[in-house]
Amino acid sequence: MLGYNGDAVQDRAYHPVLALFPTATAAAFKHLCGEYCTANAFGMWLCWSALASGALPKEAVLREHASPFRRALLVDHFQLKDFSLVLLER
């Protein structure tokens, strides 16, 4: 789960993360909630919800793979200063 916010300069920070996990399902959340200091709380809720239900909302999916997922990694930053990584597991 990535914190893409639509700013091309800031979103470049997520490209290496996608490259590290080429076969993983990838999703974004800030286009659903907006950019603010605690937006990653919304991202964590979305990860938890996806793990609990086994599905992501289609509006969040960037890249989908058919295999079910048991873990979710939330990667976020706020204005390229405050970075966070949160790993959730079912």
Q: What confidence tens digit (pLDDT) does each residue in 48-87 have?
A: 999 999 899 999 999 998 778 899 999 999 888 889 999 9
Structure tokens at 89: 């597991």
Instruction: Tell me the C-alpha distance between 29 and 32, whole Å.
Output: 5
What pLDDT is attached to residue 48?
Answer: 96
Q: Express as a percent the part of the chain with pLDDT over 90.
A: 78
Q: Quote the pTM value.
A: 0.88
Structure tokens at 85: 């990584």
